[in-house]
Amino acid sequence: MKIIAFSNQKGGTGKTTICVNLAAGLVKLNERVLIIDLDPQGNSTVSVGINLKPDDLTVREFILGEARIEDVMVDSYMADLSIIPSNPDLAHVEIEIANKSKNQFYLKRAIENSKEVLKSFDYIFIDCPPSLSILTINGLCASNYVLIPVLVDYLSLQGLSNLLETIEQVKKKLNPGLEILGIIPNMLDYRLKITEESLELLKENFNEKVFKNGIKICSRLRESPSFGKAIFDYARNSQAAVDFLNLAKEFKRRLK
Ligand SMILES: Nc1ncnc2c1ncn2[C@@H]1O[C@H](COP(=O)(O)OP(=O)(O)O)[C@@H](O)[C@H]1O
Ligand SMILES: [Mg+2]
């Protein structure tokens, strides 16, 4: 079982999109995946077709140790993809644990206490919120690897150095085992000159950390969450379906 955080403090870089569709791609390759939705916006929860009722238990109770994993984990419409869902209540956790000691390790502890259930999964994906908040730190502290979705334009690449600094700090002080699995270029639009230029820059700076199989811009990816479906089930002949299957294969190769 390997735990991977999807992180970038910038919103809209594709953390959720890649978390959900890479997970679905891995399911196609016969792997079992659990997504932990660590964003109060609950986008990955909705993206796999989960509609929570007001009283449903969520990742909040899981993190706080108030609910067992069996009571928070739900099956998605895919047999081998489960999720610990999130809703806006999760935002309160930040305040609830703000003054607690070792508040970086709540998620890690919850995961460790659930080993028996979790060992049947090949991968645990943590979809982090778009901030460097205590929730994101919890995600990074609970993980073996971090995956960084980026847009390839000037401002996005500038933000990358902040993130890498944070990851370095977490590695040094909190989670020495954390490794950057890679940077995934997203919304690639080869009609724009800036795309090739920025990709070059990214590769110059981060070499083999940059995934060869990025994700091209594809309107079907914007539509699929509202149907609660991964790209393979919403638009299986789309460019994005091809891209995500290739990404899933590269992901597996990198983890070997
Ligand atoms: N490759 C892509 N092509 C087109 N739209 C995309 C692509 N990747 C993400 N999007 C869209 O961009 C928006 C932001 O993506 P999202 O995954 O929610 O980012 P994040 O989780 O990092 O905030 C969403 O509306 C999503 O559907
Ligand atoms: Mg998101």
Which residues lie closer than 8 Å to 22 by C-beta, 6 or more apart? 125, 244, 247, 248, 251
Walk me through the domains of the chain, giving residue ranges and CATH numbers: 2-255 (3.40.50.300)
CA distance 181 to 183: 7
Looking at residue 146, its pLDDT comes to 98
* Helix, strand, coil percentages in the chain from 3-state DSSP, rounded to 5: 45, 15, 40
pLDDT confidence tier of residue 155, bands split at 50, 70 and 90:
confident
Mean pLDDT of 126-132: 96
For ligand 1, the distance from its centroid to the CA atom of residue 68, given in whole angstroms, is: 31
Contact 40, 89 (CB under 8 A): yes
Per-residue pLDDT tens digits for 83-123:
999 999 999 999 999 999 999 999 999 999 999 999 999 99
Distance of CA 129 from the midpoint of ligand 1 (Å)? 13
For ligand 2, a single-atom ion, the residues with CB < 5 A are: 15-16, 43
Taking only the tens place, the pLDDT of each residue in 37-73 is 999 999 999 999 999 999 999 999 999 999 999 999 9
CA nearest neighbour of 61 among 32, 82, 35, 92: 92
Does residue 43's CB lie within 6 angstroms of at least one atom of ligand 1? yes
pLDDT at 153 over 90: no
Ligand located closest to 149 CA? 1
Q: Is 32 in the pocket of ligand 1 (CB under 6 A)?
A: no
